[in-house]
Amino acid sequence: MRWTKDGINRRDFMKGTVVGLAGWPLLGSLTGTVRADAPRAARVALCKTTDRRAGVEQVMKLLEFEPPHGRRVLVKPNFNTADPAPGSTHNDTLLAIVRELRRRDAGAIAVGDRCGPAKMPEVLARKGIPEMAKEERFDVIDFGALPDTDWLPFSAPGLHWENGFTIPRPVREAEYIVITPCLKTHQYGGVFTMSLKLAVGITPRSLMRQLHGNTEHMRRMIAEINLAYTPKLVVLDGVECFVDGGPMEGKKAEAGVILAGIDRVAVDAVGLAVLREVGANDAIMGTPVFRQEQIARAVELGLGVSRPEAVEFVTGDAESRRYADKLKAILAAG
């Protein structure tokens, strides 16, 4: 097998890859069909709050998810830049997640990402992450600084990626992955960026020209990256959101919500409902949630629930329950 972080040799791609899905059916191919083994229901914990630490603690308590129990944990934040939340992961959110994982008997914890357009050492320094890492005893991994030998190939039939793509060895070998997206619109073709879009940070910067240059299939390609890894937990910070612009800067609104789930499609669907509730741009307001291309392609690939009725809200107080009911109605309306 001959490969670099930029992708896979075309002939080797046809033979299959080390980390690929050998023998996998055509992943919904280009037909728009839903895989038969797609999840039938997914729980999303919701806390209406502006206190990030309390919100993270509450949703992780409410959600029934598999705890790490001694396993090595990789936390994937949104560290494209050091812009204030929701431009990047808020430090309070990251800190709360790390501490809650410790309470659940996490083994060694590492925080890993590939920044861009900013350089990761600058992002980390501006956000004070090295100091947090030292105090909270976690490692920091810059995926962009890994050698070619630590980028492992991934491919599957029916992808829109030319020669597959590569993912970092720390992602492939992680025993337990937690991702923590922000809640925002994406003005450069993604439409929105939440848990599915967060996966772009596990591909090398050298592939961004292919991704952003494919305006027809960009949203589908984003969803397809998610085949390469499976988080055990998603914690989405929606205390503040971008309703237009993004991902670094944009028109900001206060949504006052923290979400947690296991199903990336369900979490993103609820996140889109939040954006619609606070009022966002035409790309969000004018397209039904499950017709958004990221969501639709993820459903085709069996990555999550396929319909609004499959999202089950879990709340712990009356205010959160009322807000969940609002979002449920938005999802049901299409």
pLDDT tens, 13-53?
Answer: 333 344 444 434 344 434 445 555 667 899 999 999 999 99
- Burial of residue 261 (CB within 10 Å: 0-12, 13-18, 19+) is buried
Lowest mean pLDDT among 15-19, 40-44, 204-208, 254-258: 15-19
CB atoms within 10 A of CB 10: 10
Residue-level pLDDT at 213: 86
- Map out the domains of the chain with their CATH numbers: 3-12+43-333 (3.40.50.11440)
Q: What is the pTM of this model?
A: 0.90
Find the length of the chain. 334
- Burial of residue 14 (CB within 10 Å: 0-12, 13-18, 19+) is exposed
**Cα separation values, 322 from 50, 256, 313, 329, Å:** 16, 13, 11, 11
CB atoms within 10 A of CB 142: 17
